Structure 1
Amino acid sequence: MEFHNLSSPSPLPLSPSMATTALGSPAPCLPTSSAKVSAFLVPVLCLEFILGLVGNSVAFLVFCIYSRPWSSNVVFLVSLVVADFLLIVNLPLRVDYYLHRETWRFGPAACKVNLFMLSTNRSASVVFLSAIALNRYLKVVWPHHALSRASGRAAAQVAGGLWGGLLLLNGHLFVMTHPRQSCLSYRLGRQSSAGLRWHHALYLLEFFATLALILFATVSIGVTVRRRGLGAQAGPRRAMRVLAMVVAVFTVCFLPSVLFGVASIVAFRLHACRALDVCSQLFHGSLAFTYLNSVLDPVLYCFSSPSFFRQCRALLGLLQGSQDSASDDSSSQRPARLQAPPSKAEAPGRLHT
């Protein structure tokens, strides 16, 4: 995901002082790699791999054991868990890449698969964060609309269609070529391709379109809660907490890389070599934040469900005695709802989200 030289036939990066043509006219500056940034990313990615693997494994087991049948919200949450696993299983390869000073040792085919999985994870994360926000929006603002009462099966069909679209949007990564011993999906240089330009555009489009959608849902829910006097109800309050957490996760994980990425492109166009080096290194380091979403998403699940944390503790064996377990099961049957309570009693032990 780093910005890197596209046109140099040598694996060694060009320095700003070398950015001149044979005729002496100014040539585009090319970003250089930094050993300090790679040294920073190695331990951070290792930590994110461990925490993300543990957190998402527990979350997936909780959803499978305690949330039967799946509601529409659980379907989108599970899709987010799957997207996080796509990232987590690829982090060891990225750690090896940075550990060997940005040298890819597993061949071009594995590089393409690795970049495709990372890019698909990012796309899926922003898409399903948007789906969670829209699901909360419908349940608060349009509680009687047919979409707000969509079943888990209907949500699964929507999620399947979204996954299919995401795979197509990122399929260009399989036809992109990479310099020898390099495995980067975002690069700057004198030579470009339609696939690379689309990749850059997709990165910006995903962020700004998703941010606008999430902010719209958050503001609409806040206005509806105040206008209808729903602030005292637990359901709308939880919806606001979920949306606030979605905005926080989305901003922390993706905003830094977008800002530094845009700054790198601007510096490249303006031939500002020193600024390009600084911005590209900041962009490189901010990749740790984009991978952080796989660690923070389980925290989002705790905000999304009142009983998720209790069920996690039960799954990990941290609850003592059958009486405590029975108490947790009982409490999980009384979630705050945005509509009138159902006529039939909920099945015991079900996780409501």
Structure 2
Amino acid sequence: MPVSNGTEHGLGHKDDSPVSNDNATVLGALILSLVFLVGVPGNLFIAWSILARIKQRSVTTLLIFNLACADGFLMAITIFFIVYLAKQTWVFGEAMCKALFYLCNTNMYASIFMITLMSVHRMVVVVLPRRVSSKVSRKIMKRVIVGTWALVMVISIPSLVFRGVREDNDDGWNTTKLVCVANHTLPQHVRFHYALETTAGFILPYAVIITCYVLILRRLRKTQFRRKVRSEKLILAIVVMFGLFWLPYHVINMLQVAAQWYPEGSEARETLDKISSNSRAVTSALAFISSCANPILYTFAGKSYIRQNGFAFMARLFEGTSLDQTRTKKNKDTEGLSNADSTNGAGPPLISAKMADKH
């Protein structure tokens, strides 16, 4: 997870530490500082808007609340990584090294899984018959969310196992630094750790998300109600933004995995290790941006409510996503009436026309 080592120590060779590249370290610290200042109050405001302003919370709102909690907690602990990059030495001890990176991974998985659940839920509402989608109640979704948090806590365990503090000698300045780095004793550990992180935290979720939106688009093309509802637009924007900011991080993961297939000391392995080491601080900091970007995204999406509702604009935006779900179900009912009337030779139904004008 963030600010991790670009190469794996304990495999019989020494490489650059995650804070050895001054330019990347300064840039990473700057990005994390901005992320902290925006992300912490932004996600707290989202959580407060949902808890204090919304009485009837839709499934989408519950998922957005959990996403804000995951992102907000991740933003809160960035202060430790800012200090790490600024001092260029780890001052928080072995236990904090393991715990903080474990929490980072937990919230990374939680964020993408919540976004995946949003996409699956929208697919169920839009694509599946009403008798199926109506069963996806808030009570069921709450159980799914609890199960999701339990799952992410389990699959983040490698961050506890493969993480530790070691001394790193800086020959140029004749000093010794403490660095919190991944500590894999075998090449197989490297491949398992980072392949799991990228597969479970990026590839598989995005495969599910893309499948959901393909099904949604196919469904919308078959119906006369082609207006894109607010929740589809908002969730799709969250998905795209998450992918853009996390893709560089997972590319570096795959470069580290690829490096382990080359013999130790080979030119290809040294090149991949160097790229990973020099890029980790920046790509990890970019990954953090996705967690502070959502409040900004919601603000732009709900700007039409700001003048009328003031600080309650975020609640009005999320209430709108709940209304979209109701509208989608109404549209399905109307479509069914339209098909029945057409079969009876009654021509375009008046009800359908009224519903189309209404929505």
Category of TM-score, reference length = shorter chain: 0.7 to 0.9
Q: What does 1:314-333 correspond to in 2, within 5 Å?
A: 314=309, 316=311
Are the structure 2 counterparts of residues 137 and 300 from structure 1 closer, same or farther at C-alpha, using a change threshold of 3 Å? Answer: farther
> In the alignment, which of 64, 67, 73 is matched to residue 51 of structure 2?
64
Cα distance, 1:280 vs. partner?
A: 3.2
Q: Aligned in 2, Cα 1:310/1:14: closer, same or farther, shift over 3 Å?
A: same
- Aligned ranges 1:238-317 → 2 under 5 Å: 238-270=230-262, 271=266, 272=268, 273-299=270-296, 301=298, 310=305, 314=309, 316=311
Instruction: State whether residues 129 and 246 of structure 1, in contact with CA within 8 Å, keep that contact through their aligned partners in structure 2.
Output: yes
Alignment of 1:1-353 (within 5 A): 1-7=4-10, 13-14=14-15, 33-101=20-88, 103-180=89-166, 181-185=178-182, 191-192=185-186, 197-205=191-199, 206-232=201-227, 236-270=228-262, 271=266, 272=268, 273-299=270-296, 301=298, 310=305, 314=309, 316=311, 335-336=323-324, 337-340=327-330
**Which structure 2 segments of 5+ residues have no match?**
167-177, 332-359
CA distance in 1 between counterparts of 2:248 and 2:322 reads 40
Question: For 1:257-299, what per-residue CA distance to the aligned partner results, in whole angstroms no more than 9, with x for missing partners?
Answer: 1123212432453332234312432243111221112112224
CA contact (8 A) 2:195 2:253 kept: no
Deviation at 1:72, TM superposition (A): 1.4
In the TM superposition, residue 133 of structure 1 has moved relative to its aligned partner by 0.7
Tell me the distance in 1 between the aligned counterparts of 2:321 and 2:113.
Answer: 30
Name 1:25's counterpart in structure 2. Answer: none
Shift of 1:240: 3.6
Q: Higher helix fraction: Structure 1 or Structure 2?
A: 2
Cα gap change, 1:220 to 1:340, in 2 (>3 Å) = same
Per the TM alignment, residue 158 of structure 1 is displaced from its structure 2 partner at its CA by 1.1
1:314 CA displacement: 4.0
How far apart, CA to CA, are the structure 2 residues paired with 1:70 and 1:308?
A: 21
Structure 1 residue aligned with 2:336? none
Q: What is aligned with 1:26? A: none
Once superposed, what is the RMSD of the aligned Cα atoms? 3.4
Bigger shift: 261-270 or 81-90? 261-270
Query: Which amino acid counterpart does residue 52 of structure 2 have in structure 1?
Result: I
The percent identity for this pair of structures is 20
Deviation at 1:300, TM superposition (A): 5.0
The residue type equivalent to 2:70 in the other structure is A
C-alpha distance in structure 2 between counterparts of 1:339 and 1:76, whole Å: 20
Q: Provide the residue aligned with 1:24 in structure 2.
A: none
For structure 1, the 5+ residue unaligned runs are: 16-29, 319-324, 342-353
Which amino acid is 1:257 matched to? Y
Secondary structure at the residue paired with 1:105? Answer: coil
User: Which range moves more in the overlay, 34-43 or 309-318?
Assistant: 309-318
CA contact (8 A) 2:67 2:115 kept: yes
Task: Give CA deviations for 1:212-268 in whole Å, capped at 9, x if unaligned.
Answer: 111111111111101112213xxx433441343133122212111112321243245
Report SS of the residue matched to 1:2: coil
- Whole-Å separation in 2 of the counterparts to 1:45 and 1:38: 11
Q: Name the CA distance, whole Å, in 2 between partners of 1:198 and 1:266.
A: 12
* Alpha carbons 1:115, 1:173 under 8 Å: kept: yes
The 3 A distance-change label for structure 1 pair 173 and 333 is closer
TM value normalised by structure 2: 0.75
Q: What is the CA-CA distance between 1:82 and the residue it aligns to?
A: 1.2
Q: By how many angstroms is 1:45 displaced?
A: 0.1
Asked whether the equivalents of residues 256 and 286 of structure 1 are also in contact (C-alpha less than 8 Å), the reply is yes
CA offset at residue 333 of structure 1?
A: 11
The 1:307/1:332 distance shift into structure 2, 3 A limit, reads: farther
Equivalent residue letter for 1:202: L
Q: What is the match of residue 21 of structure 1? A: none
Of 194-203 and 107-116, the range deviating more from structure 2 = 194-203
Change in 2 beyond 3 A, CA 1:175/1:286: closer
Do the aligned partners of 2:58 and 2:322 also contact (CA within 8 Å) in 1? no
- 1:278 alignment partner AA: I
